[in-house]
Amino acid sequence: MKERALTCIVCPRGCPLTVTLGEGGEVLSVTGNACKRGVEYATTECTAPRRTVTTTVRCECGGVISVKTASTVPKEKIFEVMAHINRTVAPKSSKIGDVIIEDVAETGVAVVVTANRANR
Amino acid sequence: MELINNINCELVIIGGGPAGMAAAVAAYDAGLRDILILEREGALGGILRQCIHNGFGLHRFGEELTGPEYAARYEDMVREREIPFMLNTMVIELSEKRVITAMNSERGIFTVSAGAVILAMGCRERPKGALGIAGTRPAGIFTAGTAQKFVNMNGYMPGREVVILGSGDIGLIMARRMTLEGARVHAVCELMSYSGGLARNIEQCLNDFDIPLLLSHTVVEIHGRERVEGVTIAEVDESRRPIPETKRYIPCDTLLLSCGLIPENELTKMAGIELDRVTSGAVVNGDRETDIPGVFACGNVLHVHDLVDYVSEEAKIAGEAAVRFIRGEAEKNAGIKLTVDGRVRYTVPQRIEAVADTKVYFRVSDVYRDKKIVVRDGERVIISKRKQKLAPGEMESVTLTKEMIENAGESLSFSIE
Amino acid sequence: MFDFVVIGAGVIGGMVARELALSGGSVCIVEAMGDVAMGATRANSAIVHAGFDAKEGSLKARFNVRGSEMMEGVCRDLGVKYKRNGSLVVGFTDEDRETLAELLRRGEKNGVKGLRIVEREELLSIEKNIGEGVKYALVAPSGAIVCPYELCIASVGNAMDNGAELKCNFKVTKIEKIEHGYRVFAGESYVEGAVVVNAAGVFSDEIAALVGISDFTVHPRRGEYMLLDKECGSLIGHTVFRCPSKMGKGILVSPTVDGNLLLGPTAEDIEDKSDTATSAAGIASVRAAALEQVAGVNLGKVITTFTGLRAVGSTGDFIINMKDGFINCAGIESPGLTSAPAIAEYIASLLGLTRDKTKNPTRRAAHYFRELSTEEKNALIAKRPEFAHVICRCETVTEGEILDAIRANPRPSDLDGVKRRTRASMGRCQGGFCSPYIVELLARELGVPFTAVTKCGGGSYINIGRTKEN
């Protein structure tokens, strides 16, 4: 048995979590969480950590517009996700919710626009 | 075309960021129609427009949004209600008689006589000059927010080899943002022995990318003639003085500063409104009304918030109270002062005049573990709430019930014990 | 060939070039840096000295007193902010009292009017926030304040409006005597002038050496300053000096014409002529001295710290002379700013020049917009809507004012140049909000990419590339 200390990133509260792991790395228990999402987070974090990526994408208008992954992507793929987004150009009329990449860096996750106007 | 340059308006809101928009929506929903939002930028949304990261809206909307998405929710509400707003409009003067002088390219300089005013101008970052760092003054020194604007709004990179001074949330967010765009962040130095940022941001913005957080460290000298070439950092002792033997040179081309936010109260001062020396914002009552009747303040211009959700909540209080003021429905008592012990740095509101359940926000001055938040009415303890951890970076709150306020003497004292 | 080549576009070079241009001669100003006012002019105490410090009979005394008389009119002509706020030299001990008496005698010999010594009680009625330990003060009602870089920009601008040419990034490397004049080189390129004026500040000894003059040297004396928020500008009205020592006039506390409070300078002789770094020790000594002189200086309101280098000549006096059409204006340390108009006048007289009546000695104020009435502002906004678009919110500087400054002589090419001309980003947020907008305006007006815009020329790039490039 092994203990691992984590900071929950699900909400701004940032609960300090203590995770007890079994021999095979399986999560046996989670303490310190204020809500059940803490358990979910700790379980994923100890097995296959995931993150939401927020960034910008080039826009046809010459400026940039903000985007995010529609849900979390594997943490180790963050830079592959960035590379894919950086190769992409959003159309001029992009608005919140528009999908600009359906499957970013083979994660099965889409990238969506998060603003209603591009900035130049 | 002849424009009328003296406008009358029941409620004028200065600032169309999250606070101003939420106040406008709340006032509209309370039945007021004659509202005008004055916004200096070319779009509504305020600083949220450049805060493209997520983490906004969990309390307010029950989901995690990015800054522009959160702002757009409110912009949609403003537009649905057809609340009037003027963009690219700079307020240059506010009088104690609630006369606002503003300027834009359509009208030139014009005045608005307001029935009530809500101040929602937001805050700014502490600049380098205020920190007194020795050395040269080359290009490559930015506040984190300025760098954020260059990166997220303009699409440019202000640097590639970065050191960050101060571990405020914007600094942490920019550490990750610059890293994602290919920069290398060598360290985040924090003068204090704790970070002023949220724990989740230290985790997901620094730890995820192996960026060291150096607590009790500061930048003692900036090097470079034209562009930053490096910084000397050092550990500081208990009285925050650099320890010479710990000096270390880090080559870099950029120094980002995230050393605190200051409410922008130039107009507030101009109107002669009393300011709180600790918050740098106005002294307000439970309605968020300043010492000039009919002038309210909310959001980061009042005190710096950690979460925009709380800004919206506060703006709603101010918006609804402004409507009561305009209608002559505001009920007031003699006023109870809220006092602090220093461990509690400040409270907002600083006084309570209405007799209703009132949520009081406050910040502590240091990191405290396993302490009690105590509120006393004279000698009598009326609230005692145990907390595992209290930190200056995290705003706390307690709710004073109507009964507590009714029974209170002249003041209620807040302390950490 | 130009009639005159002026080396150095500081306040001395600028004022001299203006006087030469107003005489109708052709003038070329060459400047090593990317903009004017980049040396001592950029960072000094901004004081128009009354004239009691300099030893009687010295050039310093002569030009100080004359310059002090001229300054108000020159500033009016050039649209430069000037304020006769008076100065005080404060004494803490009986020994200081004697020094003040000596200054009074010297001042009277120099022709300074209205000097008197007051004791604490009367002093408090003049300045209520004077420091606790201050017992006496010499009052000099003719002391004044001015913005030094604004004066320099305006004088170079006025010279250019009257036909002078400005070559920036022209670092003089060689000077050849030719028939009827000199050929002044910067690397391969050169300009020729019948008369050359050396106004190269801390580098003026090196310039003189290029024509074989080696009877003086100039060394830099570093002075560190702190500038406080406008909130503190009304703490005192007068400029408050300490009793002087051999290293200069000591640390002063003074309001500025723009309403800030200035503290400094330290005085440290150094070797490196470009070392404008600030030091922890320097700033600490400014703090300590300022607090003794004036009570209630709020050091929490510092908005910036900076260092200036005074050009200290080896003779102890200004070095102003002419030989074979080569004029030295060297060692112009304090009271150099005050003396600038008088030095310009003197050089014109050395050359037997008088003003050409067809030339225009006046210039529109750099900050004219804010002086207009509401009606006038609205009339201007109707024609040029950019005057209603505030870019710098701390100092209320509009896009119109910035565009005017970018288009006026001498044209700025970087962020600091715009800042010195318009005050945009000189306020309490120090450019945090407006610098991205100014970068945009500069890029557009200069027709260069966003990434080519610098803070202060050379390699001082603000942005070093685009995002999405990896």
pLDDT single digits (tens) A50-80: 999 999 999 999 999 999 999 999 999 999 9
- The verdict on residue B180 lying in a domain is yes
| B159 interaction partners in chain C (CB closer than 8 Å) | 464
Chains touching chain A through at least 3 C-beta pairs below 8 angstroms are: B, C
For tokens 């995230």, the residue is B258
Are both B155 and B189 inside the same structural domain?
yes
How does pLDDT run across B300-322, given as a tens digit for each residue? Answer: 999 999 999 999 999 999 999 99
- Contact between residue C362 and residue C368 where contact means Cβ atoms under 8 Å apart: no
Q: Are residues B39 and B162 in the same domain?
A: no
Contact B203 A14 (CB under 8 A): yes
Catalytic residues of C: 49
> pLDDT class for A101, splitting at 50, 70, 90?
very high
Interface check for B69 against chain A (CB to CB < 8 A): the answer is yes
B232-283: pLDDT as tens digits: 999 999 999 999 999 999 999 999 999 999 999 999 999 999 999 999 999 9
Interface contact B104, partner C, CB < 8 A? yes
Q: Which residue of A has its CA nearest to C440?
A: A120
Are B203 and B106 found together in one domain?
no
The closest CB to that of A56, out of B52, B58, B75, belongs to B52
Q: CB–CB of B72 and A78 under 8 A?
A: no
A62, closest residue in chain C (CA to CA): C466
B27 is a domain residue: yes
pLDDT over 60 at B1, yes or no: no
Residue B138 near chain C (CB below 8 Å): yes
- Residue C247: what pLDDT? 67
Domains located in chain C, CATH noted = 83-145+219-313 (3.30.9.10), 368-452 (1.10.10.1100)
Q: Residue A120: pLDDT above 60?
A: no
- Whether residue B118 is contained in a domain is answered as yes
Which residue among B105, B153, B157 places its CB closest to the CB of C463?
B157
Same domain, B138 and B243: yes
B134/B147 same-domain check: yes
| A96 touches C at CB < 8 Å | no
Interface contact B198, partner A, CB < 8 A: yes
Q: Report CB contact under 8 Å: C468, A83.
A: no
The answer on B359 and B237 residing in a single domain is no
Residue of chain A with shortest Cα separation from B154 = A120
Q: Answer whether B200 touches A (CB < 8 Å).
A: yes
Using a CB-CB cut-off of 8 Å, the residues of chain C touching A83 are: 470
- Of all residues in chain B, the percent with pLDDT exceeding 90 is 89
Which positions of chain C have pLDDT values less than 50? none
d(CA B281, CA B290): 10
Question: Chains with 3 or more CB pairs closer than 8 angstroms to C?
Answer: A, B
Task: For chain A, positions 11-40, list CB contacts with chain C under 8 A.
Answer: none
Is 0.90 topped by the overall pTM?
yes
Assign residue B278 the CATH number of its domain.
Answer: 3.50.50.60
Domain that holds residue B96: 7-125+261-330
Distance from CA of A14 to the nearest CA of B (A): 5
CB pair distance less than 8 Å for B128 and C440: no
B213, B237, B259: which is the final residue of a domain? B259
Q: Do A119 and B307 touch (CB under 8 A)?
A: no
pLDDT for the residue B160: 97
Nearest chain A residue to B201, by CA = A9
For chain B, the domain total comes to 3
User: Do B225 and B300 fall into the same domain?
Assistant: no
Residues in C closer than 8 angstroms to A57, CB to CB, are: 468
Closest CA in chain C for residue A59: C468
Tell me the chain C residues in contact with residue A81 when contact means C-beta distances shorter than 8 Å.
none
CB contact under 8 A, A14 and B154: no
> Which sequence spans correspond to the domains of chain A?
2-47, 54-113
Clarify whether residues B46 and B32 are in a common domain: yes
Examine the fold and report which residue of B294, B315, B330 is the final residue of a domain before the chain moves on: B330
Closest residue in chain C to residue B87, using alpha carbons only: C389
Residue B147 in any domain: the answer is yes
Residue B153 scores a pLDDT above 60: yes
Q: Do C303 and B130 touch (CB under 8 A)?
A: yes
Closest CB to B199: pick one of A14, A56, A78. A14
State whether ipTM is beyond 0.90.
yes
Question: Do B131 and B240 sit in the same domain of this protein?
Answer: yes
Q: How confident is the model over B185-233, as pLDDT tens digits? A: 999 999 999 998 988 999 999 999 999 999 999 999 999 999 999 999 9
**Using CB atoms, which residue from A7, A78, A116 is nearest to B199?**
A7
Contacting chains of B (3 CB pairs or more, <8 Å) are A, C
What does the mean pLDDT of chain A come to? 93
Put simply, whether B316 touches C (Cβ < 8 Å) is no
Out of B206, B229, B259, a domain closes at: B259
